[in-house]
């Protein structure tokens, strides 16, 4: 099955836009922005697979657009191809030095655009596949901590711009060291896999994100979620794991496997970082443990 890619064209010339769109629209989803700042806004909104960027724009130059896109973590890695009538080697060199991956000079043919764009999209697809494998936890097949940190930065940035709430739930399997010691690491690995699967299946919104945070800890990001909504989701996760009825017959436990959860929620303001947000969830997790485990806590 062919992969449909999102392509953003940033160009104010309707003739050029029509030529490019006609060349690509059959196998891709094509979006259009007719100014530089609008192009930056759309790129942050949809995160396209590739941007075709004119240099001569009505508000700011394509060079400035490229600089802006490369300055934001959410758009930094989007491939940019300059499409322009500037035809000197110095112009091309400047564009490439700013981080563009290609430079197509006008006038151009639809066949040339299609071929060069397809080559770049194929390269991006292969790169994305490798990057995806690097961000997966091999045991649980969930995103790993590195992927979680990238996702949190992205969601945090969107919440800042749009003044939206964001919540996280940090989970820790209760007495997991004792479980490992009593049943062995193979059983411990199976337990982690089952807990990971249960958490994932407990989430129903496409935007909700779960990752293995490390060891026996998992973390859930819930964008656009109020405190009460997040507590309901976290409590459902806790109950579903408890209802697995995984025996935990260590001499000091004599019970079933459970989890403790710390919940934090905020509406991030501009120029704030998410480190304190994570620390709050971590404090609430340990408070849940101090209160007896198998519960959630939100200050």
* pLDDT of 277 above 70: yes
Task: Say if strands 50-54 and 5-10 run parallel, antiparallel, or are unpaired.
Answer: parallel
Same domain, 126 and 170: no
Average pLDDT of span 248-261: 86
Same domain, 119 and 195: no
Counted residue by residue, the chain has a size of 299
Domain-embedded: residue 110: yes
Domain-embedded: residue 140: no
Give SS3 for 284: helix
Same domain, 23 and 149: no
pLDDT of amino acid 89 = 79
Domain-embedded: residue 94: yes
Same domain, 104 and 151: no
Average pLDDT of span 67-78: 91
- Give the catalytic positions in this structure: 216
For the chain, give the mean pLDDT: 91
Which of the pair, 192 or 133, is modelled with greater confidence?
192
Average pLDDT of span 112-139: 88
Same domain, 194 and 103: no
Same domain, 149 and 293: yes
Domain-embedded: residue 139: no
> Is the bond preceding residue 107 a cis peptide, omega within 30 degrees?
yes
- Domain end point (choices 133, 155, 181): 133
CATH (domain of 93): 3.40.50.2300
Neighbouring-strand partners of residue 203 = none
Same domain, 155 and 287: yes
pLDDT of amino acid 94 = 87
pLDDT category of residue 2 using cuts at 50, 70 and 90:
low
Same domain, 122 and 53: yes
* pLDDT of 273 above 50: yes
Domain-embedded: residue 35: yes
Check: CB of residue 260 under 8 Å from CB of residue 145: no
Average pLDDT of span 162-177: 95
Long-range contacts of 267-270 (CB under 8 A, 24+ apart): 267/159, 267/163, 267/164, 267/165, 267/166, 268/156, 268/159, 268/160, 268/166, 269/160, 270/160
How far apart are the C-alpha atoms of 234 and 225, rounded to whole Å? 12
pLDDT category of residue 53 using cuts at 50, 70 and 90:
very high
Same domain, 126 and 161: no
Same domain, 198 and 70: no
Same domain, 247 and 267: yes
* pLDDT of 281 above 80: yes
- Structural domain harbouring 51: 5-133
Average pLDDT of span 102-124: 86
pLDDT of amino acid 271 = 66
Position of tokens 């043919």? 109
Domain-embedded: residue 189: yes
- Domain end point (choices 100, 133, 166): 133
pLDDT of amino acid 1 = 44
CATH (domain of 186): 3.30.70.270
| Residues 185-229 pLDDT 10s | 999 999 999 999 999 999 999 999 999 999 999 999 999 999 999
- Domain end point (choices 103, 133, 163): 133
Lowest-confidence range among 85-89, 130-134, 136-140?
85-89
Phi, psi of 232 (to 5 degrees): -60, -45
* pLDDT of 12 above 50: yes
Domain-embedded: residue 138: no
What are 140's two structure tokens?
Answer: 């649980």
pLDDT of amino acid 65 = 95
Question: Residues 19, 127, 119, 106: is their CA dihedral positive or negative?
Answer: positive
Count of the separate structural domains present in the chain: 2
């Amino acid at each position: 099955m062919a992969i449909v890619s999102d392509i953003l064209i940033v160009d104010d010339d309707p003739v050029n836009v029509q030529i490019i769109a006609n060349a690509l629209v059959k196998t891709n989803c094509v979006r259009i922005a007719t100014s530089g700042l609008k192009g930056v806004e759309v790129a942050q909104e949809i995160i396209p697979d590739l941007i075709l960027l004119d240099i001569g724009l009505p508000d700011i130059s394509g060079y400035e657009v490229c600089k802006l896109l490369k300055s934001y973590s959410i758009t930094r890695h989007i491939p940019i191809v300059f499409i322009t009538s500037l035809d000197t080697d110095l112009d091309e060199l400047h564009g490439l030095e700013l981080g563009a991956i290609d430079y197509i000079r006008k006038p151009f043919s639809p066949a040339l655009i299609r071929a060069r764009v397809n080559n770049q999209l194929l390269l991006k697809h292969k790169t994305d596949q490798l990057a995806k494998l690097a961000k997966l936890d091999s045991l649980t097949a969930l995103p790993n901590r590195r992927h979680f940190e990238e996702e949190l930065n992205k969601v945090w940035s969107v919440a800042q711009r749009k003044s939206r709430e964001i919540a996280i739930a940090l989970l820790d399997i209760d007495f997991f060291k004792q479980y490992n010691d009593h049943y062995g690491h193979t059983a411990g690995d199976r337990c982690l896999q089952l807990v990971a699967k249960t958490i994932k299946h407990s989430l129903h919104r496409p935007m909700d994100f779960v990752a293995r945070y490390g060891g026996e800890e998992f973390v859930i990001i819930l964008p656009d979620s109020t405190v009460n909504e997040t507590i309901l989701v976290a409590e459902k996760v806790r109950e579903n794991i408890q209802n697995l009825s995984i025996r935990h017959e260590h001499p000091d436990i004599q019970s079933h496997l459970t989890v403790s959860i710390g919940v934090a929620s905020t509406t991030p303001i501009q120029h704030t970082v998410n480190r304190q947000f994570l620390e709050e969830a971590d404090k609430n997790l340990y408070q849940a443990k101090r209160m007896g485990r198998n519960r959630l806590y939100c200050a």
